[in-house]
Chain A
Amino acid sequence: MATGPANRRQALQAAGGLGMLALDHLLRADAGAIQPHHAPRVRRVIQLFLNGGVSQMDTFDHKPELEKRHGQTVDLGLKAAATSVPGPMMKSPFPWKRHGQCGRWVTDRLPHLARQVDRLAFLMGMASRTSVHGPASYLANTGFQLPGFPCAGAWIGYALGRLTDNLPTFVVLPDSRGLPYNGMGNFAAGFLPATHQGTVIHPDSPVPIPDLQADRRAHFANAAESADGLSLLRDANQRFANDRPGDSRLRARLGMYEMAARMQASAPEAFDLSRESARTQEAYGANRPGHEGSFARNCLLARRLVERGTRFVQVWSGAGGASNNWDNHTSIPDELPPICRQVDQPAAALLEDLAARGLLADTLVLWTTEFGRMPFTQGSVGRDHNGDTSVAWMAGAGVKGGTAIGSSDEFSYQAAEGKTSIHDLHATVLHLMGIDHEKLTVLQNGANRRLTDVHGHVLTDLLL
């Protein structure tokens, strides 16, 4: 089913003349824009994106100093956080324990992920450049704080092309409560062809992909009509292309409708979670009702998609807004546990399931957020945004489990040693996929643009 980029390129070369600028775009849509720079270890990626800014010192960044100084006012030299003035230091309200062979500290709010730590490679001092959701989310997705740049999924689809004709290459599964901060901007193709933008799938909706089926209000449209119509269209477009030799775009249009028909036929099967065993569904927690089980169902769907050839799946936890996400300004004890509960078991089950099926051998799983939170209180028990340190992790193909790089200071206020950035993480992901991040460039408005801007180092310490 899957066709390597080289084969596809040769096939297209045989079909029509190369060299036109426009054809170049079509080729990119169809296959990869580049040949891998080195042998890839990863062919597909599932990114869990925790929207709102995960509180690192309440999840993975254990800080005994915060327990000691709890309630004290410490002058950090900061006049104001994003939305508040610094309050006294606040320890994590949750108990901590060491886990796994590696002995990593995890809070008791993430008991399932705690059992996975030997699979995970942590970035313990990952800094953003801003503490504002909009620019921070753009930065975490595209490497730039301003809108208009392609996100990682778009770059990867552009660079490497697709693994299957039956499903979109880059799929986004938003929280069932709504889109994250920046909406579709986080999944945009920027200046890359529109083909590379994330395809948003709403698995619970009667229309999971826009226009996968004919709009219901058109009463004349039906399966037999569509099949005959497509055949008539192929004839007309074939004649038009034959009369106009040398224009490969016109030939590409023929293929585009054929692929659409295949996607129309096979996508519903991929979205159908009822084909999974009750045991699997239970393992993910996918049978929990409504929003409570939505992240679980999306994780399970993500596995089904990568299994069938989708290259990059982004699973979001939390919609934009004041509640039901990781943006816990008001109360860490009240707001964090429920969102942890929605994510913890499914994320762990996803790793287990991928491993059990052998998919983890060439699949990478990422846990990222746009920034961290402050060690001091906002109000009485909330925490404000903190762009200066946060935690991310990687798991799967090519990743050295049970390791970590970097650390924050004694309060988890700023990244201290081994400070990393999203550019480093993106450089590492591209590296695992066979791409030198400095060589994947596109000329746009006079600059050679990269996913990693002018930054990024591959985090070799975390790799096998």
Chain B
Amino acid sequence: MPTVPGTSHPVDAFVRARLVREGLTPSREADRRTLLRRLSIDLTGLVPTPEELAAYVGDQSPEAYERQVDRLLASPCYGERMAQQWLALAHYADSHGQDQDRARPNAWPYRDYLIRSFNHDKPYPLFVREQVAGDILFPGDPGALEATGFLAAGPWDESGLRDIREDALDRITAQYLDRDDIVSSTFSVFMGLTVGCARCHDHKFDPIPQADYYALQAVFAGTDKAERTYDADPAVASARTALAKRLEEARAWRTNPGLALANPSATAAVQLLQASHSRSEASWMIPEPLGWKSGQGATLKVLPDRSILSMGKRPEKDTTTVCLALRAGPISSVRLEVIPDETLPLNGPGRCDNGNLHLSEIRLKLSGKALKIATAMADFDQTDWGIAKAIDGNPDTAWGIHPQVGKAHQAIFLLARPVEAGPSSELEVELDQLHGRGHLIGRLRLAVSGDSSLAPGDWRPFAPEIAAILARPEKARTDAQRAELRIVALEQQLQGELDKLPVRRKVYCGTSQYSPEGSFKPALLGRPVHLLRRGDSRKPGEEAVPGALSALGFPSRFPATLGKPEGERRMALAGWLSHADNGLLWRVMANRVWAQHFGDGIVSTPNDLGKMGGTPSHPELLEWLASEFKNRQGSLKALHRLVVTSSTYRQVSSHRDECAAKDAGNRLLWRMSRQRLDAETVRDALLQVSGRLDGTLYGPPVKLYVETASVHVTPQADYLAFNPDGAGANRRSLYRFIFRTRPDPFLGALDCPDASQSVPTRTESASPLQALALWNNANMLKSAEHLAERARGLDPSVAGSVAVATRLLLLREPTPAESSAWTTHARKHGLASVCRVLLNTSEFLYVD
């Protein structure tokens, strides 16, 4: 570290040594108003209140400034501010982007993970490792899983990766492009390197051969962007794991029935099963069908057992409506039996050629009034076609029974609330079968029950052969039957306990643990990745081995992960990134923190510290900051504190001709750099000064637009029609729903990035369109009205309310000339008009 007389802070020593060398002098310290505004915006993204400023100004202690630093670092808004910036780095959004820009309703847990991690000051290497492989490194830890939202934060090409044919070449191309997004993002964000250049050829400037790039692609060979379910509570997660394990053990007895017969715990389960089965069986009533209709012209016939058989024309899709005569009394559940019949293909119970059926949705109406279904259970679910899909409101998903065709199955639907049927009530049941290709129900029968004392687990339907065993006297059962009964009873019991656990959450993340959607399905061991000549997926070369960059001097290939679950590869990469010899990890983040405070990094290109990046203005300082960051166990709060307590940070931003002549761009930091508030901070500050900011932390995103359906997957978003006083309108900007291809025009006019690529620092543009947004947008005008109202509430006189508004916005009193001009204007056009002006001032929109 250089020694410079009169400096005690190491940061200043580095900066001043250079200033001295260049014949420059530092600037004086800024006043407290300027300092607090700067510090508050930098650390929390919020403007200070007049009260906060008064407290600081009144604090005579020599540590007054440091106290403010500590106060702001301890504020939960610190985590929000840091998360906001990290989201732009991760190019996070709440929708897929591309031509089918579908919403991602469960992306936000990653955003909340970021806020918590920053507020808890999570050690940086851990923060990095969790985002790359948290699910594998810390299984069962919900936060670590949410962290992998990083890998999925970027866009996703739904057409290319899900909808086009699996065997089309474009599918392969789309997979390479999707992995390219993950690879590029990971390396830009954590390593400050542009590896994408090596997609077509060895990197021209940095030592990144093409083989390294494809090694990285191979790391993510099985990482898909998809929704994964998880327990938000680790205790529930372990209970679930334990139950699942017992369930698996019980099922394993089928290969060795002796174990089932020897196990005492199953006896009680069998008794319970027997009892609840008798009760539930007794409670079912099979009403007489009064009416039956096929929406698409199939012929329906009622059989003597009150079941309904579908015959004749087999439509592609159908909706069957059945109307049932009820007796007076309560109804708490409805049962659907699908029954084999020799007239059906493979005996049914479906009409599809393979005997299957798909129930897309079921709807119940009691005398015309819709009944809400709470839960659905079936004795058998086709893989990925579970019974829950018949009540999910999505016509594209359904319940199926393949390959268990040729036998009866049943599904039970529990109502959210029991209802009372009158003596002439009718129950209308609508059964959508919309999958196509004749996936219709062949023969069905409906029953109702009013016994609401039975718990969901008691109702669990099971296969008819089990019912037959139960119907036999105990003595008449064979050993095999007894064993099967014990297994089923335990299955029922354990499944019942699993069902009682809290509903699992979902997070959109980089994973192979997800339910397939059509031909978009997991590749648990990774898909083959080849080195592509000239980056062309039509020209695959040799298969790539997972790995990272070879030029850093520590092992860079992970051959042992081949043939293992895909997560192993990510875990190896997480280890590589946090390797003790990887100094770049620390330098990149230290430079980001610096850039956040000075508007420009020590290296001006925070996403590229390679040869194409900028030349560092203070290379030794960057090295020192990186090593301090490392020595302090990767504490970001410590790093921020180190930077903002320097005199360099506390300088005024005033221009001096003699210094500007030598260093007009202020690369050497002879003064502070003035910065414009970024788009999100402008919006948050508007809410804040007008007294509307809703400080709620976390949660699902808020749509700041009016959404309407369109002919296409991507809905229409009207931002101008959104009510700026509407629900959720007062949340901080980082909680807004970020819609990739329909970005917020107000924030966009203020240079808010559109989440299509990693953005390390904001550009600052000035255009007539920006002026129109600032002058005319509802966000501004409504804030002006609210601010005026707030100011009038605090001081009803015109001159007084002008002064209050000035204080709230600019943290100062108006000058006599301002007071006179603004008061005159307020008398003529109202106080809101003065507020409109104040909100547009450079003084409000810039930080000195």
Chain A positions within 8 Å of B, measured between CB atoms, are 17-22, 25-26, 29-30, 79-85, 129-135, 137, 145-149, 165, 168, 177-179, 181-185, 188, 190-195, 197, 199, 207, 209-215, 217-218, 220-221, 224-226, 228-230, 232-233, 235-237, 240-241, 244-247, 249-250, 252-253, 255-257, 259-260, 262-264, 319-324, 387, 443, 445-448, 454
* Beta-carbon contacts under 8 Å, B712-729 to A: 712-714, 716, 719-720, 724
Q: Once the chains bind, are B157 and A134 in contact (CB under 8 Å)? A: yes
The 4 closest A-B pairs by CB, nearest first: A183-B741, A246-B655, A446-B608, A148-B757
Give the contacting residue for B197; candidates A207, A252, A447; CB below 8 A. Answer: A447
Q: Given A210-B745, A220-B830, A236-B841, decide whether A250 and B846 contact each other with a Cβ distance below 8 A.
A: yes
CB contact under 8 A between A188 and B655, given known A134-B159, A218-B785, A228-B825: no
Question: Is the beta-carbon distance between B745 and A79 smaller than 8 angstroms?
Answer: no
Given A21-B600, A232-B837, A259-B768, check contact A244 B164 (CB 8 Å).
no
**CB proximity of B628 to chain A, nearest CB, Å:** 26
Say how far B475's CB is from chain A's closest CB, in angstroms. Answer: 60
Seed contacts A147-B97, A194-B748, A256-B768; 10 additional CB < 8 Å A-B pairs = A25-B763, A80-B167, A132-B99, A185-B98, A210-B745, A220-B836, A255-B766, A260-B769, A387-B170, A454-B200
CB-nearest residue of chain B to A255: B766
B residues near A324, Cβ cutoff 8 Å: 711
Enumerate chain B residues within 8 angstroms of A260, measured Cβ to Cβ.
768-769, 771-772, 775
CB of B782 within 8 Å of the partner chain = yes
B193 on interface, CB distance cutoff 8 Å: yes
Contacts A132-B170, A195-B767: A17 and B660 contacting too (C-beta < 8 A)? yes
Contact A240 B194 (CB under 8 A): no
Q: Beta-carbon contacts of B156-176 to A below 8 Å, as 1s and 0s? A: 010110011101101001100
**Taking A137-B99, A210-B773, A446-B613 as contacts, is the C-beta distance between A253 and B711 under 8 angstroms?**
no
CA distance A125 to B100 in the complex (A): 28
* Cβ-defined contact, B160 with A225, below 8 A: no
A192→B155 CA distance, assembly (Å): 19
The interface residues of chain B lying within 8 Å CB-to-CB of A168 are 768-769
Task: Say how far A83's CB is from chain B's closest CB, in angstroms.
Answer: 6
Residues of B within 8 A of A245 (CB): 655
Which B residues are within 8 Å of any A CB, using their own CB?
91, 97-101, 155, 157, 159-160, 163-165, 167-168, 170, 173-174, 177, 180-181, 188, 193-194, 196-197, 200, 206, 600, 604-605, 607-608, 610, 612-613, 653-655, 657, 660, 664-666, 674, 676, 710-714, 716, 719-720, 724, 740-743, 745-746, 748-752, 754, 756-759, 763-773, 775-778, 781-782, 784-785, 818, 821-822, 825, 828-830, 832-834, 836-838, 840-843, 846, 848
Contact between A447 and B612 (Cβ–Cβ < 8 Å)? yes
Residues of B within 8 A of A237 (CB): 840-842
Cα(A356)–Cα(B711), bound, Å: 39
Question: 30 A-B Cβ contacts within 8 A?
Answer: A21-B604, A26-B764, A26-B765, A83-B165, A85-B165, A135-B173, A148-B757, A178-B712, A181-B98, A184-B754, A185-B97, A185-B740, A194-B749, A194-B750, A210-B719, A211-B769, A211-B777, A215-B778, A224-B829, A228-B833, A229-B837, A235-B821, A240-B842, A247-B655, A256-B768, A256-B770, A260-B771, A260-B775, A446-B197, A446-B610
With beta carbons under 8 angstroms apart, the residue of A188, A217, A257 that contacts B756 is A188
Q: Which of B168, B655, B781 contacts A80 (CB 8 A)?
A: B168
Q: Is the CB of A209 within 8 A of B846?
A: no
Residues from chain B with Cβ under 8 Å of A320 in the complex: 99, 710-714
In the complex, residue of chain B having the shortest beta-carbon distance to the beta carbon of A257: B771
Instruction: Provide the residues of chain B in CB contact with A445, threshold 8 Å.
Output: 188, 194, 605, 607-608, 757-758
Return the contact of A220 from the options B181, B750, B759, B785 (Cβ within 8 A): B785
CA distance in complex: A387, B752 (Å): 33
A283 to B711, CA, bound (A): 31
Q: Are B772 and A209 in contact (CB under 8 A)?
A: yes
Residue among A18, A134, A249, A443 with the most chain B CB within 10 A?
Answer: A134
For the residues of A in contact with B, the DSSP-based class is loop
A249 to B673, CA, bound (A): 12
B772 CB contacts on chain A under 8 angstroms: 209-212, 260, 263-264
Chain A residues within 8 Å of B785, by CB:
218, 220
B-side contacts of A17, CB under 8 Å: 660, 664
- Check B654–A256 contact: CB distance below 8 A: no
A413 CA to B785 CA, complexed, in Å: 62
**Which listed residue (A207, A230, A250) contacts B720, Cβ 8 A?**
A207
Assembled-state Cα–Cα distance A241/B775 (Å): 19
State A443–B764 Cα separation when bound (angstroms).
Answer: 16
A20–B665 contact, CB under 8 A? Answer: yes
CB distance from B414 to the nearest CB of A (A): 38
Residues of A within 8 A of B750 (CB): 194
Residues of A within 8 A of B608 (CB): 445-446
Q: Are A29 and B170 in contact (CB under 8 A)?
A: no
- Residue among A165, A212, A225 having the largest count of chain B Cβ atoms under 10 Å: A225
Complex contacts, A82 vs chain B, CB 8 Å: 164-165, 168, 170
- A253 and B842 within 8 A (CB): yes
A184 and B781 form a contact (CB under 8 A): no
- Given A132-B174, A194-B748, A221-B836, check contact A183 B765 (CB 8 Å): no
Chain B residues near A246 (CB-CB < 8 A): 655, 657, 660
Given the known inter-chain contacts A194-B765, A233-B837, please indicate yes or no for A178 contacting B825, CB distance below 8 A.
no
- Cβ B757 vs Cβ A191 within 8 A: yes
A191 (CB) vs chain B CBs: closest residue: B757
Alpha-carbon distance between A250 and B752 when the two chains are bound, in angstroms: 20
Nearest chain B residue, comparing its CB with the CB of A387 = B170
Q: Taking each of A132, A245, A253, which has the highest tally of chain B beta carbons within 10 Å of its own beta carbon?
A: A132
| Also in contact, A83 and B164, with CB within 8 A (given A135-B177, A237-B842) | yes
* Centre residue among B170, B188, B769 by max chain A CB count within 10 A: B769
Contacts of A210 on B, CB cut-off 8 Å? Answer: 719-720, 745-746, 772-773, 777
Contacts of A446 in B (CB 8 A): 193-194, 197, 206, 605, 607-608, 610, 612-613
Looking at the complex, which one of A129, A178, A253 makes contact with B766 (CB distance below 8 Å)? Answer: A253
A211 B776 Cβ-Cβ under 8 A: yes
In the bound complex, CA of A321 to CA of B364 (Å): 33
B765 touches A229 (CB 8 A): no
Bound complex: CA A26 to CA B764 (Å) = 8
B744 to chain A, nearest CB (A): 10
Contact yes or no, B771 A256, CB < 8 A: yes
Q: Bound complex: CA of A137 vs CA of B751, how far in Å?
A: 24
Q: Are B165 and A148 in contact (CB under 8 A)?
A: no
Please report the C-alpha to C-alpha distance between residue A396 and residue B768 in the assembled complex, in whole angstroms: 30
| A131:B170 contact, CB within 8 angstroms | yes
In Å, the complex CA distance between A447 and B712 comes to 35
CB within 8 A of A132: which of B164, B610, B764, B770? B164
Contact (A214, B776) CB under 8 Å given A183-B742, A185-B740, A229-B836: yes
A-chain residues with CB within 8 Å of residue B604 when the two chains form the complex: 21
Give chain B residues whose Cβ lies under 8 Å from the Cβ of A83. Answer: 163-165, 168
Least CB distance, B822 to chain A, in whole angstroms? 7
Q: How long is the Cα–Cα vector from A211 to B777 in the complex, in angstroms?
A: 5
Task: Verify A244–B714 contact, CB threshold 8 A.
Answer: no
Rounded to whole Å, the gap between the CB of B640 and the closest CB of chain A is 23
Q: A387 CA to B536 CA in the complex, in Å?
A: 14
Query: Which of chain B's residues have a CB closer than 8 A to the CB of A323?
Result: 711
Q: How far is the CB of A270 from chain B (nearest CB, A)?
A: 14
Residues of A within 8 A of B674 (CB): 244, 247, 249
Q: Is the CB of A145 within 8 A of B177?
A: yes
Cβ contact within 8 Å between A148 and B764: no
A147 with B756: CB separation less than 8 A: yes
Q: Indicate if the CB atoms of B741 and A182 lie closer than 8 Å.
A: yes
Judge whether B197 and A134 touch: CB under 8 Å. no
B143 to chain A, nearest CB (A): 29
Tell me the complex Cα distance, A118–B180, Å. Answer: 44
Closest Cβ–Cβ distance, residue A33 to chain B (whole Å): 13
Chain A residues lying within 8 Å of B610, measured Cβ to Cβ, are 446
Task: Tell me the complex Cα distance, A146–B653, Å.
Answer: 39
